Amino acid sequence: MTVSNFFFFFFLTTSHLLACELDKKHDFISLSGPVTSLLVEFDLLQDKQLKGISTFHPISFKGIEEKKIAGGVLLSQKAFKDYQNLVLYFDQSAELKKVLSRYPGEKKLITTRGINPFQVFEQSLTELRPYLVGCEERILKLQKQVSEIKEKLFKHPGWSEQIIFFLGHIKTERFPNLIILNDLFVKFWIEQKKLKTYPSELEYVVWSKKILDAMPAGTQFVGVHEADEFVLNSVTKSRWNVGAKGALIPGLSQIYFMRDFTQKFVYEKK
């Protein structure tokens, strides 16, 4: 074997050993948005041990159509057939937990309600990490990146005007029915006193015209929706629509959303 051939062979073998992959002793299904976001981040959607992903998650299924799993509480038992040492991730849902309890495999519940995106990220990574092989360098790099984003968000001065975030697109003359309050990224900004918004202790609320009409002058109204990439559009001087992939998925994708929104929204309004 020549020296050049030796190094080529060494590169092929070591690159395989260093590849980030899922533990081959298990099969995996992700019905959890935060976990799917991590699988995307670590380039694991094509991993052979990943057998299913919820169609509710905003990812591209091109080339992995066979991994689509439709349904939540209506999930078919066929989705769990013939898997070895199945590990199944799912997001907080009393109904889904009850349904899944009848099925085989190890269930990993990801709590998403009432906690901020950084807490969801830490929890989902903790639950997935023991089943990742050769991923430690990428995990540490991601943790550093998330820590840097969090630090910048802590340093962000916040907004002097009130901002109300709606679930869905804002039309010129009409707001979506629900306001996002003590959940997702809004909860984080409220906790950090970066944001003043609609007065309610609820996670989501159907808005009152009387309360909206009484909001201070300069209040900004922002509709949040899913999109293939980050996009911010002005509907009127005080009405906006913002979209991003995973904008409404707790955890990592929403951390990226907060980073982009704090940068772009301030820029657009200058």
Residue with tokens 């159509």: 65
Q: What is the pTM of this model?
A: 0.88
SS3 102: coil
Q: Using 50, 70 and 90 to split pLDDT, how confident is the model at 1?
A: low
pLDDT of 65: 93
Does the pLDDT at position 73 exceed 80?
Answer: no
pLDDT, average across residues 224-247: 95
20-139: CATH topology: Rossmann fold (3.40.50)
pLDDT of 81: 66
Does the pLDDT at position 18 exceed 70?
Answer: no
Domain ranges of the chain: 20-139, 154-269
Mean of the per-residue pLDDT values of the chain = 89
- Distance between CA atoms of 54 and 31, rounded to whole angstroms? 5
Of the segments 69-73, 83-87, 160-164, which one has the largest average pLDDT value? 160-164
Q: Quick one: residue 105, left, alpha or beta (phi over 0 = left, psi -120 to 50 = alpha)? A: left
